Amino acid sequence: MQHIDSECNAMMDVAAALTAEQISVWPRVREAIMGRLQMLEAGVMQAPRWMQKRLEELDPLLNLRWDFWEGSWVVDRFTRVEGCWTPVCIWKDENGPKRLDLSLIETLQDGDMWRFANYKEYLAYKREKSRLIRERNRKAGEDKVLEAVGKLSRKDMAEFLEVGTALKTGETIECHGNDEHFFRHYNEGAKSAIAADYQNNRRI
């Protein structure tokens, strides 16, 4: 199937609407269409077969190509109504093109509401996914703490327990040097994490 996308379709519509007085611009329009088609075909040839196969397993109407204008991978979907390919995912962020891996498939799945019977099922799926992410992050944080505690000397452990008990009982702790730097950034980080968690849960 020739890779005619929505932009080519738009140019063809323009060409079809040319009047007798405007027909002189047809060679330029034709050149633009042919150039676009060649670029699309070249981009399709760049796509790794293994990723194209995964996309077809997800939806046989999906196609991967490298977009030379965007400078990134683009996933198109063929729309039978329009009779052309339409971009559904431009695989890049503020840092440029993103690495081509299975996270692309996950992103497409997350945005595909058609696989759910209704919106409630979609919300339930998003909530459960968020819960699993929070649980994974919590466990990762606990593992880091346990790793750090495991490296403490007896003296450091005693001080750690003493400070922890004091914080729980509401005593005022006066820190200096590295300890002051640590606790200041710890409190700032904790507040940011709580605020972010609240915002994420509020949207779901």
Give pLDDT tens digits for 39-64: 999 999 999 999 999 999 988 999 99
In the prediction, which pLDDT does 204 show?
43
Same structural domain, 106 and 124: no
Same structural domain, 132 and 97: no
**Residue 24 belongs to a domain:** yes
In the prediction, which pLDDT does 44 show?
94
Higher pLDDT, 79 or 150: 79
Same structural domain, 110 and 123: no
- Residue 76 to residue 89: CA distance in whole angstroms: 7
Same structural domain, 72 and 133: no
Average pLDDT, the chain: 79
Same structural domain, 127 and 106: no
In the prediction, which pLDDT does 124 show?
75
Nearest to 67 by CA among 47, 53, 48: 47
Partners of 74 in the β-ladder: 65, 90
Same structural domain, 93 and 140: no
Higher pLDDT, 3 or 1: 3
pLDDT digits (tens, 9 = 90+) for 151-195: 767 776 677 667 667 766 766 666 666 665 555 655 555 555 555
Tokens of 194: 């709580």
Same structural domain, 130 and 47: no
Same structural domain, 124 and 69: no
**Residue 1 belongs to a domain:** no
Same structural domain, 82 and 150: no
Q: For residues 75 and 55, is the Cβ–Cβ distance under 8 A? A: yes
In the prediction, which pLDDT does 113 show?
58
Q: What domain range is 182 assigned to?
A: 119-203
Same structural domain, 111 and 125: no
Domain boundary among 87, 115, 143: 115
Relative orientation angle of helices 177-203 and 119-150, to the nearest 10 degrees: 170
Domain boundary among 67, 98, 115: 115
Same structural domain, 107 and 149: no
Mean pLDDT within 24-45: 90
Same structural domain, 105 and 125: no
Q: For residues 21 and 42, is the Cβ–Cβ distance under 8 A? A: no
In the prediction, which pLDDT does 62 show?
93
Residue 203 binned pLDDT confidence (cut-offs 50, 70, 90): very low
- Residue 189 to residue 187: CA distance in whole angstroms: 5
Domain boundary among 75, 94, 115: 115
